[in-house]
Structure 1
Amino acid sequence: MDKLRGKAETLKIAHLLDVEPGTLTFLQDLPVEDVRRFRTQTVAALFDRAPEMLDRIASATKLVPAGVAAAISQKALGPRLAAAVAGRLEPARAADIIEKLPVTFTAESCAHLDPRRIEGIVTRLDENLVVRIAVALAERGDHLTMGRFVGHLSDAALRRILPQVDDAAVLGTGYVIDAPERLGHIIDLLGEERLASIIASASAQGLWPEALAVAGMVTGAQRARIASLTAAQPQDHLDTLVRTVAEQDLWESLLPLVALLDPEERRTVAELPSLRGEDVLGGLVRAVVATALWAEFLPLVHALPADSRKTVADTAGTLPAPDLDALAREVDKQDLWDLVMPLVELMDDAAKTRIFALPAFQDHPEP
């Protein structure tokens, strides 16, 4: 899911720099861990070299009651500058002032707060206020800011927030969450019925990339459950998933989920009309070559209708020699010959000749 992670990191950097995400699309071609480190460096560059004026304002703020400081923040500073000053205060003092501010003002300010200060402040706020701020952020559609905060919220707060925000907000926030290690626990808090509702919403609202990103950040039984609930969607909804994946080249995010399905669920996916087109299948094969996801792909191929299997075989047979070599090495490495040989049987003689000329095939009998 590197492509989705890279896009999410690019969105976060654009948000930090207050620029259009489209101006930073070049970052999506870089290794995602490099982009993440760049975001960390961007945060430091933006917030560590604050003007001396901010420290003077923060010092002056300590001399007046929290209510007066809140009034100054709202009337004289505005959301952006107030957030900058809050980042220079001790977390306890910042929390005292925030509790005196209108929720709408705080929600707007949150987008400009130093991300490294969030945990210290949020954990000191009254739970009722945290819930109201989170709901206000959801209503504003500010999923990026929610993604910064949600990993620091208590279970008690999350149990109150989740029923009050819509499915799109949950998906959007999960997509850009800054603490992905917390995502599995949050999904547990959602419960089975709400998780099913969220997946249905991904289908109905065109949020499949966000849903795939969330599925890619959880593991084990949770990921398998998401895969199963997705396979249970109506056929036309699953067709939109496949078309979205094909258009955005997100096969590396989808195929690991398909591999988790039981045979009947996998057959449902394999029989989708959207998986019958030569363009889609050809792009899928090329994506599998690039990502070496043969172990995830071949069980799906086995479930495809005969004409679609033939298309896959023909496409694989015409791959450039380096790609065929890579295919053979990966198949040999993972011992997937039993799944590959039925595909080879469907190839024409010229393709078979190319295949069996590869060193990796020398120790395996022809069909």
Structure 2
Amino acid sequence: MDTLRTRAEVEKIARFLDADTERLAFLAALPASEVRRFREQVAAGLFDNQPEMLDRIAKATKLVPTSIAATISQKALGPKLAARVAGRLEPARAADIIEKLPIGFVADSCAHLDPRRVRDLVERLHEDTVVRIGVVLAKKGDYITMGRFVGHLSDSALRRILDQVADDVVLHVGFFVDMPERLDHIVGLMAPDKLADVVRAASDGALWAEALTVANLVGEQRRAEMAGLAARQDTEQLDALVRAVHRDHLWEALLPLVALLDDADRRAVAVLPSLQAWEILADVVRAVVATGLWSQFLPLVDVLPEKSRQLVAESAGALDDTDLDRMAVAVQEQDLWDAVIPLVELMDDTAKERVFALEAFQVQDEASEQHEERGAKPDPEPDPQQDPQQGP
């Protein structure tokens, strides 16, 4: 998930700086929280250090009727400069001017508005205006700007926008949402049929990164619902999802969703052709070792076909000493040896010996022996002097 959130933050910074994302590729290695903090600093630097001319224009705007101020904004300033001036006005005054402007012009201006002023403006705009802006932004494909706004919209406005935009818009905007804590509530406003259509849009448009982002940001109940809807897509679409995750190294975003599937859906995923390929299974094993997601991965392993289980065992047995030890430690900490031992049994003798020699395995083996010894001890003889109705 951090990979996806970082990617979204980098694209937002690129928009602010009017730069190609390739020039900001060095940010991809940083945690999403740090990249977001940097984006906020970039925004503050851009909007706090504006020419004094903007303040003079803002003061002059207060001296004329709103209709004239709107005309000046449209004819003389243009969308970018008008947005910068709006950021210098009192929110109520800016909202009054916006109501007098063509929606297309307002939508173009929104991309250049100080993100810190969005909430104050949205709260003062008529709902009809907000809805029309949202629909125009969706048609323009300006999902980054929509992502800044949606967290501040009322439920009524959100429902109206959701009814008027294409299903894939939900995924695009969810990927860029600035207030991810609101996403579960927003998705909850959709009818079940609409949510199913959104999940299908991920398959139809190969929007796997966007869908994984949204699914991992909503609450567990809706996450499980989205995971189940995705698992019921046809084999070709699910295979495309697995291969996209493999290509972009997104197992950390997918495996927690697979773990939420019911038995039937998990079995449908387990028999995918892509999960019978050595390179993909070896990649997922390495990812699980790196992330410690054994409790999310093992339920899928349990229902994999025999050939695939064998490949998983071989992949685990081929890990270098460091990763093999990391695997054992994670399994020990999560108390998953009962689920892992069947995989160890599928390894060749050399791999088995390496596992058995690991310190974490030795600790587990000793604990098991002690447990068996305690279980084998007979119950102590009752004390004939003690009343059985009384405790010891």
Residue matched to 1:81: 81
Q: Distance in 1 between matches of 2:31 and 2:153?
A: 30
Q: Which residue of 1 aligns with 2:119?
A: 119
Aligned residue for 2:374? none
| Secondary structure, aligned partner of 1:195 | helix
Residue equivalent to 1:351: 351
Matched, 1:155 2:145: no
Aligned to 1:292: 292
Question: In structure 2, what is the equivalent of residue 317 of structure 1?
Answer: 317
**Aligned equivalents of 2:132, 2:279: Cα separation in 1:** 48
**Cα distance between partner residues in 2 of 1:325 and 1:169:** 44
Measure, in 2, the Cα distance between the counterparts of 1:358 and 1:288.
Answer: 18
Helix, strand or coil at the partner of 1:28: helix
Q: Are 2:175 and 1:175 equivalent residues in the alignment?
A: yes
Deviates more, 1:17-26 or 1:56-65: 17-26
Describe the SS at the equivalent of 1:233: coil
Corresponding residue for residue 383 of structure 2: none
- Which amino acid in the other structure matches residue 11 of structure 1? E
Aligned amino acid, residue 14 of structure 2: A
Residue 338 of structure 1, CA deviation: 0.8
- The answer for the alignment partner of 2:190 in structure 1 is 190
1:364 CA drift (Å):
3.7
Aligned mates of 1:30, 1:188 — CA distance in 2: 31
Larger Rg belongs to? 2
In 2, Cα distance between the equivalents of 1:190 and 1:22? 35
- Where does residue 66 of structure 1 map in the other structure? 66
Separation in 2, partners of 1:71, 1:142: 25
CA deviations over 1:249-284 (Å, ceiling 9, x no partner): 100000000000111111111100011111111111
Alignment of 1:1-367 (within 5 A): 1-365=1-365
Q: Give the Cα separation in 1 of the matches to 2:294 and 2:315.
A: 14
Q: CA deviation at 1:241?
A: 0.5
Q: Aligned to 1:190, what secondary structure does the other structure show?
A: coil
Structure 1 residue 236, shift from structure 2 partner? 0.9
Counterpart of 2:309, as a letter, is R
Distance 2:168 2:94 in 1: 31
Q: Equivalents in 2 of 1:365, 1:267: separation in Å?
A: 31
Deviations 1:164-211 (A, max 9, x none): 000121110011100111111111111211000000010011101100
State the distance in 2 between where 1:220 and 1:254 align: 14
Distance across 2 between alignment mates of 1:170 and 1:262: 25
Superposition deviation, residue 363 in structure 1: 3.3
Number of residue pairs aligned between Structure 1 and Structure 2: 367
Describe the superposition over 1:315-354 as per-residue Cα deviations: whole angstroms up to 9, x where unpaired.
Answer: 1011011111111111010000111000000000000111
RMSD of Structure 2 on Structure 1 (CA)? 1.1
What letter matches 1:83 in structure 2? A
Asked whether the 8 Å contact 2:171–2:214 carries over to 1, the reply is yes
DSSP-derived class of the 1:363 partner? helix
Determine the C-alpha separation between the residues in 2 that align with 1:112 and 1:22: 22
CA distance in 2 between partners of 1:71 and 1:232 (Å): 53
- Moved segments of 4+, more than 3 Å: 363-367
Runs of at least 5 residues in structure 2 that lack an aligned partner in the other structure = 369-392
SS of residue in 2 equivalent to 1:255: helix
Deviation, 1:365, is 4.4
Q: TM-score, normalised by structure 2?
A: 0.92
C-alpha distance after superposition, 1:48-69 (max 9, x if no partner) = 1111111111111111111101
**Helix, strand or coil at the partner of 1:178:** coil
Q: Percent identity?
A: 61
Tell me the amino acid that sits aligned with residue 333 of structure 2: K
In 2, Cα distance between the equivalents of 1:359 and 1:69? 75
Give the distance between the partners of 2:191 and 2:123, measured in 1 at CA. Answer: 25
Distance 2:219 2:314 in 1: 34
- SS of match in other structure, 2:124: coil
Task: Tell me the alpha carbon deviations over residues 227-261 of structure 1, each in whole angstroms, 9 at most, x when there is no partner.
Answer: 11111111111111001101101000000000001
Q: Which amino acid aligns with 2:166?
A: D
> If the length of structure 1 is used for normalisation, what is the TM-score?
0.98
- Structure 1 CA distance for aligned equivalents of residues 180 and 365 of structure 2: 46
